[in-house]
Structure 1
Amino acid sequence: MSWRETLGVTSSTEPPYTHNSQNTQKPAETGNCADSADSAYRDSKEETSKLLEALADACRGLDITPAEVKEALAAEDIEDWRKGAISVDTLAAFARALVQRRVMDQGKRPGHYTEQATCKHCGPIWLWFSGEVLGCPWCWNRVADKPIPRPSSVHCGDCIHFERIQSPHRHPHLGHCAKGEPEAIAGLWDTDRRYCERFLPRPQQTNNDQPRPARAETKM
């Protein structure tokens, strides 16, 4: 994933930054092939060193190393940096995003996520603002099958992982958790409330989902 995807940037609006000599065009020089290869190797090492120096500034005060941030940069990211299209501030924002993503991947709430919100796909979630959203940062956890911390309890029966007992007869309330969450021997009651990091809401059927009556059946 590139820095643009991580930070939600669709196109570059930053001016070029002359942080290294690679930004300027060098005239072609003729010479021995071995000398050229050696020079290119030295330039590559120098460029990597400068990138790590820039990343060291970006990582200052964060629980992440410059090498880890460099590893997360895509090839096009490094090319953008080489051309001067990525500022130190952008690298710092990318490093902070990586640290936050690492915390969230562990099912932990970032410190500034203090408000209760609801995501259409994830259910009740922690965000930095309240309200209802169609998608959220926790959707990455949902897609990767990672835990999502909950600000409130949920009903087991409202979860897509709740499998109602079907044998010998379909039980009106009892079921089991497909994710293996702790439950009684008999199973889970659909109206049970619990703080569950594996909860994912069942798609709710709205009036728009109902089949429309034929024109002849429509009352005037």
Structure 2
Amino acid sequence: MARGRTEMRRIENTTSRQVTFSKRRNGLLKKAFELSVLCDAELALILFSPSGKLYEFSTSSTLKVIERYKMNTKNVASDSRSTEQNIQQWKRDAETLAKTIEVLEISKRKMTGESLESCSIYELHELENQLEQSVAKVRERKNHLLEETVVQLKERERLLLEESASLLKKKSLATSPLQEMIPRADNVGEDVETGLYVGWLKG
């Protein structure tokens, strides 16, 4: 029969509380020992009973483990301060990036002809110059790509012509021996001399 789930609250009966403490204390010490052996872990377990009696288990020395714990907590505190400083720096960087993005968004809208109401004549003139320079660069890049495409197409045309000429040459060489084996038309019907004699044999 399955055991019922123990309610996690203080046991009011003193005797039951002492029995439960003894059983679970032994189980806890056993688990600590198994963990140290199986996983080669360094640990220290300190336990006080309700009456104030001390129970402890350590893989080496409880004081040594406690000193090691203190050293690690100092490092953790130092790491925590370093982490806090990093977080503050990240926040400042995020604010700076947010402002930069906002400026870029405003500039982008102006480049597309939006939000021009607040621009002065000087700003509009500068914006016009920037757009003209951008168009010139785009046109230059487009012409460069078109020239590269023309060169590639001409090279492809040359390769295709060479391949076509090569195929025609191979075809001509392949058909020449067959033509030599076929009788020529001007030889048809000519007499052929042989050693045969037609007629009566002379005695």
User: Shorter-chain-normalised TM-score: which range?
Assistant: under 0.3
Larger radius of gyration: 2
Q: Give TM-score scaled by structure 2 length.
A: 0.22
Larger helix percent: 2
Q: Give TM-score scaled by structure 1 length.
A: 0.21
Larger strand percent: 1
- Structure of greater relative contact order (alpha carbons < 8 Å, 6+ residues apart): 1
